[in-house]
Structure 1
Amino acid sequence: MVSDRIPPLISAQLTHLLAHCPFSVKVEQMWSGCMNSSLLDHFTLVIPFCLEYVRWDIIYNAIYPLAKPDVIFGPEDEHFRPYRGTIDSKNALTDWNSKDPTRLLTLVLELRDLYRDYQKKRVAEVDDERLKFEISTMLSREGIEMLMSSGLDKPEEVKFAVPLLDMDLNKMVLGSTWRHQQKIYLQASL
């Protein structure tokens, strides 16, 4: 990161996110949202999900550093509106504190959980008997992720990521320097 161009409050949150996130999140690109500013206050996070990656743009405002960020989800997820209709309920943005370096991590973790629920709901709406059978055989396993994938150049596809082993691979590899716990997944597409 080009830390001298990132406003201090944003830098503290981003540094905390990258150091403490339980999964391997990456910053793909950074840019300025102001025409006359060299401050980097916008960035794209690459977040692992269902053995794929989702990209979310995090939009801060360097001119108003105490304001909460906006999040823009990818074009495939135009219907993912995690906080729609939750005016009265608490979420990571309702009690936003820009001076707290843990807030961005809290927001990303909460949004990823809501995204998992959103994808699970989308998959459940597919009217396919084989898919419903596969889901019924897997639901008892913990850690399963589902992803409904579609695009202009490809047909709709449902993907599953199923954790296979309940063992700590980090302990099995002597001298491992992995920051995140390594897991083995089975990926299935329907």
Structure 2
Amino acid sequence: MGAGTENVPPFIGAQLSHLLSHSRLTLKIDQLWSSDKYNSGLIDRFTLLIPYCLDFIKWDIIFDAESPNVAPDVIFGPEDEHFHPFHMSPPSVEPNNNNNNSSLLSDWNYKDPKCLLNFIQFLRDQYVLYQAKRVGEVDDDRLKFEISTIVSREGLEMHMCSFVDKSEEVKFAVPLLDMNINKMVSGCPWRQSQKIYLQVVYPVGRKYMSAPSAPRLKLVSSSELKALYSIDDVKLPPWLNGMCLADIFQI
């Protein structure tokens, strides 16, 4: 896990090591610290950087070094104060049928190194649903139409961005190329699946605007893939009046 982890209790270290080495995403540790305000005791909490929508979300993972049988608390970002993952259900699941989800906490076993990995994967999956719900509630007819043209694309992620000094925006991360890039590279060194995405930043329209603003488009790939194949010189077509996102994927 790197330097500065010698004071991490073994039961936390095992969970964290398994999380970082087996996650389907490239997770990062931003900082580690102790529940002791003087930071002189055992390190039992850390900030986790989780890839989402071509950016990172920060969650604080709070263990108790003296209570290994207790699942960690998670502190989400201040912009996600309404994110309540255990009070959400996928559309195909009955709202009260959350026994399996709750067992992630009630059946916590510090001796099982997969517990933290399963917990974080569940929270992120719920976060995808939460952000999709937030975006779906935006009162913008053009945005709703754009979503309807791409919502069926597998792996689509969206994020509602609110600002103090400017209008809201919705970000989309749309996977491109329906192929396994890893299998195309001889002796593939990558553990995570490599993809190329279309990043779309869509301004949320105001009712008084005569015409919707054009979205900002950009191709994005992982740093590992970029080292092999640069997409920086790939030119996207200009956004013309009357276009929609579905047109981009047909060009």
Shorter-chain TM-score range: over 0.9
| Cα shift readout 1:72-129 (whole Å, capped 9, x = no counterpart) | 0011111111124869623221321122100000000000000000000000000101
How far has the Cα of 1:63 moved from its partner?
A: 1.7
Structure 1 residues 189 and 40: alpha-carbon distance in aligned structure 2, compared to 1, 3 A threshold: same
- The one of 158, 182, 206 equivalent to 1:146 is 158
**SS, match of residue 20 in structure 2:** helix
8 Å contact from structure 2 (residues 35, 41) kept in 1: no
Contact 2:158–2:172 at 8 Å: present in 1 too? yes
Aligned twin of 1:72: 75
Give the number of the structure with larger relative contact order, counting CA–CA contacts within 8 Å between residues 6 or more apart.
Answer: 1
Higher mean displacement: 104-113 or 135-144:
135-144
- Residues 135, 158 of structure 2: 8 Å contact kept: yes
Q: Distance in 1 between matches of 2:166 and 2:47?
A: 24
Residue in structure 2 matching 1:49, options 49, 52, 55: 52
Quote the residue 2:15 is aligned against. 13
* Alignment partners' CA distance in 1, 2:166 and 2:183: 40
> In structure 2, what is the Cα distance between the partners aligned to 1:140 and 1:84?
25
Matched, 1:188 2:213: no
Secondary structure, counterpart of 1:28 in structure 2:
strand
Alignment of 1:1-150 (within 5 A): 1=2, 2-35=4-37, 37-84=40-87, 89-91=99-101, 92-150=104-162
Residue 146 and residue 61 in structure 1: after superposition, are their counterparts in 2 closer, same or farther (change >3 A)? same
Q: What is the root-mean-square deviation in Å for CA atoms of aligned residues?
A: 1.8
> Conserved in 2, the CA contact under 8 Å of 1:76 and 1:151?
no
Look up the SS of the partner of 2:46 in the other structure: strand
For structure 1, list consecutive stretches of 5 or more residues without a partner in the other structure: none
Asked whether the 8 Å contact 1:55–1:74 carries over to 2, the reply is yes
The CA distance in 2 between the partners of 1:141 and 1:162, in whole Å, is: 7
Q: Given residue 179 of structure 2, which amino acid in structure 1 is its aligned partner?
A: M
> SS of the counterpart of 1:42?
strand
CA distance in 1, matches of 2:157, 2:98: 29
- TM-score, with normalisation over the residues of structure 2? 0.71
TM-score of the pair, normalised by structure 1: 0.93
